[in-house]
Structures are given as C-alpha cells and as structure tokens.
Amino acid sequence: MEFERKKYNHSHMDIAPLVDVVFLLLLFFMLTSHLMQEPAIKIKLPESKTAEAKDERVKTILITKDGEIYFMDKRVDLNKLQMAIKEGVKDIQIDFLRIKADRDADVGTLISVIDEVRLGGVRNYSIVTEKEKTGG
C-alpha cells in the first residue's frame, strides 16, 4: 500500500515593494521636517493652560521684548501696521491673524497692535501662548 504525500503550496508574499514605500515615506517626512523653520525673530511666548498646539499657515504679527513689531517677518512701525495689514491680508473675512508677543513685551504695545489689527478690518485674530508645562 502506497501513501500519497500531501503537496504543500508555499506562497510567499513579496514585501520588498512595501519596504520600499515605507522607506520613501520616512525619507520624505525627514526631509520636509527640516524645511519648516521657525522665524528668526526670537521671542519667548507666555504660558497658558488652555493653549492649543496647532500650527496653521496664517499671517503673524510678532512683538519683541524691545517693542519691535514684525508683520509677516518684516519690520513695521506701529503707525504703518494698519496699512501693512490691509495690504497683506487679502480676505479679512476668511484669513486669520496670529499675534505673538514676547512675555516681557510691554502690554501697552500689545494693546496698540490689537487696536491696529481691528482698525485694519481683521476680526479673526488670536494671541498665541505656549502650553504651560506641568510638573508631575
């Protein structure tokens, strides 16, 4: 009596293309993460417990601790800020403006900047803070 042997079909899945895709994605994200740069103007943001960590592409106003004002990375005088906003913000109903003030900046300067933003017609604006670090 002769027994028949079972034939095993070994079907191997070729994962080389999957590995290639994973490495390409890894390379893409590594390269693009270095292209996103923070502005060269150094400011220390105040901390807040309710700050959000979103990073949207919006127009920004920076206020340094020395009272210098930058709109879209260009130095602007306070009395010319309203005109710069009107020229820089295309659609005041949709566009969003972020105000980043150094924690050591004068509050009076911040209030003046907010007034100029409002006089420029922008209603969608926020003051950016950093998330407060809690120890524990």
Whether the per-residue pLDDT at 57 is higher than 80: the answer is no
* Model confidence, pTM: 0.56
With bands split at pLDDT 50, 70 and 90, how would you rate the model's confidence at 19? very high
Q: How many residues does the chain have?
A: 136
Which is more confidently placed, 26 or 56?
A: 26
**Mean pLDDT throughout 15-40?**
80
Output the CATH code of domain 47-131. Answer: 3.30.420
User: What does the DSSP assignment read for 38-90?
Assistant: --SS---PPEETT--------EEEEE-TT--EEETTEEE-HHHHHHHHHHH-S
3, 25, 26 from 32: Cα distances, Å: 62, 11, 10
Average pLDDT, the chain: 79
> Residue 136 has which token pair?
């524990």
Strand order in the sheet with 74-76: 74-76, 69-71, 59-63, 97-101, 125-127
Q: Answer whether residue 84 shows pLDDT above 80.
A: yes
pLDDT at 26: 92
pLDDT (0 to 100) of residue 60: 86
91: pLDDT strictly greater than 80: no
- What does the domain layout of the chain look like in residue ranges? 47-131
| pLDDT tens string 110-136 | 899 989 888 888 888 888 877 777 655
